[in-house]
Amino acid sequence: MSKIRTRIAPSPTGNLHVGTARAALFNELYARKQGGEFVVRIEDTDKTRSLRKYEKTIMEGLKWLGLSWDEGPDIGGETGPYRQSERGNIYGQAIQKLLDSGQAFNEEGSDVIKLKVKAQEVEFEDLVRGKVTVHSDTWGGDFVIARALNDPVFHLAVVVDDDAMRISHVIRGEDHLTNTARHILIQRALGYDSPRYGHLPLLLDERRRKLSKRTGETSLLAYRDEGFLPEAMMNYLALLGWNPGDNQEIFSHEELIKVFTLEKVQKGGAIFSRTKLVSVNKEYMKTMNPTELWQRARPFFGTEAVKLDDEYMAKAIATEQTRVGTLSEMPEALAMFAPDWMADYDPSLLVWRKSDARQTQEHLSRLVEQLEKTAGEDYTEEELDKNIITWIDDNGWGKGDVLWPLRVALTGRENSPGPFEVASVLGKKESLRRIGLALDLFNS
């Protein structure tokens, strides 16, 4: 096989698992790095559990992640079709060949077909783990390859498909090590060349247990729906079990293609840490253009989004994009910028430390007078910083005595962006309205 061809072959029996997504990414990166081709096919030999709705979400997940493929169910190609359920003919031919050669047999009293296996060691050179030896006793010798002549199980179908689709490299999880030994035996029986195999470390949870639905979210699209960026997820998945050999942690897709090698894939289990994923996502959100970030976050605002001005929301997002971890956190973080915002906090929150309500009222009243003198309807953060800080110093007040109640008056929160930053987004009219609402709380 002169051209490198890799594949991912998910089963449509559930949503796209993050482990499968990681394997798909590694296959795609390896193929692209080598100037080869990446194939997607659907392994739906499990007729009872395979559903088209899961196939749809699998393809949707791979696209969301940012992967592209050269052949697959929605693209086609010279080796298609790409669903096992549509390839029954070629499996029947392979099974008949094994039966005719005496290398397979019908189990007595049933249509089940098994491959004959004498006790032996199966040895292969793994691209990640080096030399691997598996004894046929591991699975008990003869094993099932079909439920009937035209009804193959996974082991037979995957071997026939890999050969028909000219797959040169199979990169998958280490839980397939024993399967690989069985597949090599089927390849030998059919006279096929074996692809090169590389087995990736399993994904583990933070207690070093195999990542499962019971110990954490495993569906890739659940992370999309929670507001993680696809480029951040791709970056994070690439670092699970692979190390570039330096301290770089943030990579674009193009950068990953340039530096990815199977030689740097680790053998030990890779810890899937939500905390680390949020950290990577935060890095991407920090540096994203606020206008683009608003468009990414917009779906999380629901029907309210149509009421919000794009330019205004981009400015608002710029105040919070270094603080939030996911897009789904944006509506709550930006609630203080809602046009119909009202003061619903305890007035005691306005008072700074050793100050009191009377002094706070005075400072806010004087602040209204000072802000009204500021020219124009819009403030800039720099303009407010210069004018208000100078004014505070000239009056000999503590900065916290003025800036704290201003922050609370504008946001209703203890923790928020700086008051000048918020005021520059709200503008003069809205800022003065909110300070007026704060003053009204003292009189209510």
pLDDT of residue 375: 61
For the question of residue 399 being annotated catalytic, the response is no
Q: Tell me, what's the pLDDT at 380? A: 87
Beta-bridge mates of residue 383: none
Q: What is the sign, positive or negative, of the torsion defined by CA atoms of 255, 256, 260, 264? A: positive
Got the DSSP string for 184-245?
Answer: HHHHHHHTPPPPEEEEEPPEE-TTSSBP-TTTS--BHHHHHHHT--HHHHHHHHHTSSB--S
Q: Which of 86, 150, 77 is nearest to 113 (CA)?
A: 150
Does the structure show a pLDDT above 70 at 274? yes
Predicted confidence band of residue 168 (pLDDT cuts 50, 70, 90): very high
Maximum Cα–Cα distance for the chain, whole Å? 100
Q: Assign 96 to helix, strand or coil.
A: helix
Q: Which of 24-28, 60-64, 303-307 has the lowest mean pLDDT?
A: 303-307
Using 50, 70 and 90 to split pLDDT, how confident is the model at 142?
Answer: very high
The pLDDT tens digits of the residues spanning 149-167 come to 989 999 999 999 999 999 9
Query: Above 90 in pLDDT, residue 305?
Result: no
pLDDT in tens, 240-263: 999 998 889 999 999 999 999 999
Classify residue 138 by its DSSP letter. G
Classify domain 5-204 at the CATH superfamily level: HUPs (3.40.50.620)
pLDDT of residue 377: 73
Contact 27, 7 (CB under 8 A): yes
Mean per-residue pLDDT of the chain: 94
| pTM of structure | 0.93
Instruction: Please write the tens of the pLDDT for every residue from 346-405.
Output: 999 999 998 899 999 999 999 999 998 876 677 889 989 999 999 999 999 999 999 999
**CATH 1.10.3720.10, domain 347-443, yes or no:** no
Is a pLDDT exceeding 60 seen at residue 334?
yes
Tokens of 163: 């050969």
Count how many residues are written for the chain: 444
pLDDT in tens, 409-427: 999 999 999 999 999 999 9
Structure tokens at 323: 């603080």
Q: Which of 63, 213, 258, 429 is catalytic?
A: 213
The pLDDT of residue 360 is 95
- What is the model's pLDDT at position 169? 98
- pLDDT grade, residue 303 (50/70/90)? confident
Distance, CA of 140 to CA of 162 (rounded, Å) = 25
Percent of the chain with pLDDT over 70: 98
- How confident is the model at residue 20, as a pLDDT? 96
Q: Both tokens of residue 249?
A: 């942690």
Per-residue confidence (pLDDT) for residue 74, from 0 to 100: 87
- The Cα 19–Cα 15 span in angstroms is 11
The residues spanned by each domain of the chain are 5-204, 288-337, 347-443
> What is the distance between the alpha carbons of residues 75 and 81, in angstroms, rounded to a whole number?
10
Contact assessment for residue 72 and residue 82, using Cβ atoms and an 8 Å cutoff: yes
Check: CB of residue 132 under 8 Å from CB of residue 124: yes
Average pLDDT over residues 296-323: 93
In the beta sheet, which residues pair with residue 131?
A: 125
Cβ–Cβ contacts within 10 Å for residue 320, how many? 22
Q: Please give the backbone phi and psi of residue 134, each rounded to the nearest 5 degrees, phi first.
A: -125, 130
CATH of 288-337, one of 1.20.1270, 1.10.8, 2.60.120, 1.10.10: 1.10.8
pLDDT at 1 over 60: no
Q: Where are the beta strands (DSSP E) in 66-181?
A: 104-106, 113-115, 121-126, 130-135, 143-148, 151-152, 169-173
Distance CA 368, CA 363 (A): 9
